[in-house]
Amino acid sequence: MTTKTVSSRTIPGPAALPLLGGWTNMLKLFRYPCTYSRWLHDTYGDVVAMANGDPSYVFAFGPALNFHLLSQPAIFEAGKGTILKMPKDTAWGRLQFYNLLNMNGEHHKQQRHLMQPAFHKRQIGLYHNDMVALTGRMLERWQSLSQIDLHFEMKKLTQRITVKTLFGLDDEQEIDRIGTLLQQLIASQAYLLYTPPIDIPGLPYHRMLRLAEQLESFVRTLIARKREDTTSTDVLAALVHAHDEDGTKLTDDELIGHAFILYVAGHVTTSNALTWATFLLHQHPHIHADLLAELDGRLHGDAPDLQSLHQLSLLDGVVKESLRLLPPTPTSMRTAAAPCEVGGFELPKGATIFYSPFVTHRLPELYEDPDRFKPERWTTLNRTAYEYLPFAAGPHRCIGAEFAQQEMKVVLAMLLQRYRLAVVPNARIEPKGSNLDPAYGMPMRIIPQDRQFECIPVRGHIHRLVECPGM
């Protein structure tokens, strides 16, 4: 038997400024997660300290270390690196505490087991008609428009789809009202990075607590309704009626926390993924033309049904490839539950270890021409969950991954058959932040589908991330 050697050598990394330590480097990571993480890997290797020699915050790159981190949840815990810590006795504290992202061990395993039926392939199929109907309404509204911010439109659409399928609401005004409440709650978190958590009217913390209380009250009322109604097929209804072999069910607090995080995951990340997939298609005219030919041949202008979605191989490749190039969560993290080793280096308990789907997806040994948009690669390419991980991997893999991919395919199939979107010439296109939001939106002209495909020059940091013809 061989013994693995653990090194006590200094972990390489960029220099830190006096007093500030690695925080300046952390800010670079949060603002430019793709370019900065790639630079760290190219400069220092597979294990990098955010401040040279400091094992408290490190980056681990590549499939082997992805597997090391994500397949051992007892050692590398999820959710512990959350910046905003709130008391559990507040509505916001309960939203944070009672969700899969912040659960570990047996508690996480039991909760995920209870939630899994709501995301079974058969159950996801029940959400298909809502996806089609809401996408159709958006496309009808576009008839009177000549230009849109595609990112704004995708956020609005995925918000409606998520609220409708999550809560089973039928009234469109109520769908928008709850969607706005949820969006305000998410947006209010950002202010707490710069202001103290003081519960005084007028301050961001007070506003966030009141918004969380409104959401909690709404969901508690809805839970009571779902318990009386056994005919609803939405996600919350499935969660309300889910039970373990011994009869264990999700508590109201757990249902509320799970509902909130499912909204965040189902809305924010999917809207960005749809925006980038559409942009990439319109910057690659030949792929765009080939995909439309596939859609015409199978769908003949109609919305896809569940069976046809499985027959659209190029559409599947387009979704996979756009998620490879611009994954909705380009970096993520785990926290060491005890002293451990990563890549042969010793780390202390409490160390934060970042990993990068973005960098993994750009490794040339895994992906030929890694910076190019090549959906055709997926007709023969087969990668493990730790080599291709737009939805993470291991026990904490996103429970709604199949839902998101079905939604992307439905929206793209319907949109592309009806319209040819063209990015406004010389628009500034820059992915930023932890979810790769387009920092300046995605301005596009709406043109009825005329098959006059073209690649339009744009400006911005997108050039550093994707090789596109004409860019």
* pLDDT tens figures, 233-253: 899 999 999 888 888 899 999
The 3-state DSSP class for residue 347 equals strand
Residues 6+ apart with CB under 8 A from 35: 461, 464, 465
Q: Which of 264, 266, 268, 282 is nearest to 462 (CA)?
A: 282
pLDDT of residue 195: 66
Please identify which residue in the block is written with the tokens 């925006």: 275
Cα–Cα distance for residue pair 124/228, rounded to 1 Å = 22
Percent of the chain scored above 70 by pLDDT? Answer: 94
Q: Could you tell me the pLDDT band of residue 193, with boundaries at 50, 70 and 90?
A: low
Find out whether 398 is annotated in a ligand binding site: yes
Q: Could you tell me the pLDDT band of residue 382, with boundaries at 50, 70 and 90?
A: very high
The model carries a pTM of: 0.92
pLDDT of residue 381: 96
pLDDT of residue 96: 79
pLDDT at residue 320 is higher than 90: yes
pLDDT at residue 351 is higher than 60: yes
Q: CB-hemisphere CA count at 13 Å for 127?
A: 34
* pLDDT tens figures, 2-51: 444 455 579 999 998 776 667 788 888 888 899 999 999 999 999 999 99
pLDDT of residue 8: 58
pLDDT at residue 416 is higher than 60: yes
pLDDT of residue 470: 56
Quick one: average pLDDT of 320-329? 96
pLDDT at residue 86 is higher than 70: no
Question: Do 84 and 192 touch, CB atoms closer than 8 A?
Answer: yes
Q: Could you tell me the pLDDT band of residue 191, with boundaries at 50, 70 and 90?
A: low
Percent of the chain scored above 90 by pLDDT? Answer: 67
Q: Which of 102, 154, 116 is nearest to 335 (CA)?
A: 102
Quick one: average pLDDT of 314-321? 98
pLDDT at residue 451 is higher than 90: yes
Name all domains of the chain by residue range, CATH numbers in brackets: 23-465 (1.10.630.10)
Please identify which residue in the block is written with the tokens 């373990």: 244
Quick one: average pLDDT of 270-280? 96
Residue scoring higher pLDDT (232 or 378)? 378
Q: DSSP characters for 431-469?
A: EETTTTEETT--EEEEEE----------BSTHHHH-B-T
* pLDDT tens figures, 101-114: 888 999 899 999 99
pLDDT of residue 471: 56
Q: Which of 331, 341, 324, 272 is nearest to 466 (CA)?
A: 324
pLDDT at residue 97 is higher than 90: no
Question: Do 431 and 437 touch, CB atoms closer than 8 A?
Answer: yes
Question: Do 252 and 122 touch, CB atoms closer than 8 A?
Answer: no
- The overall longest dimension of the chain from CA atoms, in Å, is 71
| Structure token pair of residue 257 | 């926390």
Cα–Cα distance for residue pair 471/462, rounded to 1 Å = 9
Instruction: For the chain, state the CA radius of gyration.
Output: 22
139-145's contacts with Cβ under 8 Å and 24+ in sequence apart are 139/414, 139/415, 139/418, 139/419, 142/419, 142/446, 145/446
| Structure token pair of residue 238 | 């499935």
Residue scoring higher pLDDT (71 or 172)? 71
pLDDT of residue 2: 40
Planar angle of CA 140, 143, 147, nearest 5 degrees: 120
Cα–Cα distance for residue pair 240/243, rounded to 1 Å = 8
pLDDT at residue 119 is higher than 80: yes
Cα–Cα distance for residue pair 201/207, rounded to 1 Å = 7
CA 303 distance to own-chain centroid: 25
pLDDT of residue 194: 62
Q: Could you tell me the pLDDT band of residue 190, with boundaries at 50, 70 and 90?
A: low
Q: Give the 3-state DSSP-derived string for 184-221, with helices as H, strands as E and coil as C.
A: HHHHHHHHCCCCCCCCCCCCHHHHHHHHHHHHHHHHHH
Cα–Cα distance for residue pair 365/360, rounded to 1 Å = 10
pLDDT at residue 1 is higher than 60: no
Q: DSSP characters for 261-306?
A: HHHHHHHHHHHHHHHHHHHHHHT-HHHHHHHHHHHHHHHTTSPP-H
State the pairing for strand pair 332-336/76-77: antiparallel
Cα–Cα distance for residue pair 154/138, rounded to 1 Å = 9
Q: Which of 12, 19, 17, 82 is nearest to 54 (CA)?
A: 12
Q: What is the edge-to-edge ordering of all strands in the sheet holding 419-423?
A: 147-149, 443-448, 419-423
